[in-house]
Amino acid sequence: MSKNKFLRILMSILIGGVLFRVVFGEIYFNFKSSNYGEYGVIGKNITDGKGYSLFYVQNDTLKTRPVELSVPYPSALTGPLYTYYIAALISIDETELRNAAFFLINTIIFLLTAYLILIRFKKDRIYLICALALLSFIPDFVYAVIFPSPSVFIHLLVALTLILLAVPLEELSVQRILAAGIVLGFICLMNSMYLPLAIAITIYLYFRLNDKRLAFIIPVAVFLAVSPWLMRNILILGDFEITSGFWSNFYRSNFEIPAGVMWYNIANIDLNAISGKNLEILLDTSFRSLSIDKILSEPISFIAGLFAKIFHITVYDPNTKISYNPLFMIPSLCFNALAIWGILLKRKGLKIDLYLLIAGIFVLIFMHINIAQVLTVKILGLPFAAAALKELLLKSGLYKPEPYHSY
């Protein structure tokens, strides 16, 4: 394959990926919507001068929808990096212009992620083509561009982490490990649910490095990255937590919420005992008790629910209408099958990716609430799916390997 032909293929894939996202967005993205989930509610409160806040009490009930006279309590439910990004977008008054900016930025992030993948795998042209084709056209990655979650940003940060760490042992310097730790800290500040990725990297480095102490640069760097947010939570919420939503997310992931009831209104808290600072801490403490009680009283149901979630993660998301669409479901299933096959191929250089994928699957099994988590973790299976797709092309005779020529 000549250099010019290779570059034409790459450009065709990336341009096709952008166009696919534009068409997908025109069909599925409501450019008139102002719903960005809890990120949007907190972002609106920030732009309204009410600070990083979410819940308020009205008629003895917890509410979140911003109204002019509401006085919401301080929050740490969402990661600050993505929330402040959404707040910046909300400052754009024109809704359609704001959503166009949202779509454009997410598409640019997709291209940056593709560029980092190109840098990492540039020595294997057919593998790179497979990886970028999957990233460009698998509906999960396309849907991530229009879904209000930090998925595309985490895709970019994961790719950057792997650029720093997926190198020969002699190139794995202290500076690279420190930089990777800070990037992983940024992932946690996007969504603390993905802290297990940093733990997985620490374990990987511990077993790979001769000087085991270097592995612990990762947790130190992560702590340094998140420490301003931790200090804010100590001062504002009175608690040393990166998030006030761990147990509420765990409960929402593993146990049914009654129809018509907002998840935060099933917690057993005395609204009259709220000091203002401690609302979300009391809320999460309540969900911790509810979760433990449910596990102890219904252990079989809890375990069965974990297996049901594996089905929902790999086949379709019951809470997301688009995942029932065969045009979405079939490519997604093919991607999952390729990823499993790719793991079995044991491609050289993907051990670090396997550690991350295992951590990502752990997050999905215990903390999956909606398709946002699947969209985020999907990037961890991309290297394996690309390896399997390359193998499929080789076995089918559609591609014949050529000696690599540097350019």
pLDDT of residue 407: 31
pLDDT of residue 200: 96
Say which amino acid occupies 368.
H
pLDDT of residue 161: 96
Q: Residues of the chain whose pLDDT is less than 70? A: 1, 273, 275-276, 400-407
Q: Which sign does the torsion angle of CA 226, 230, 236, 239 carry? A: positive
Q: Model confidence over 243-270: pLDDT tens digits?
A: 988 999 999 889 988 877 888 888 888 7
Alpha-carbon distance of 2 to 75, in angstroms, equals 55
User: pTM above the 0.85 mark?
Assistant: yes
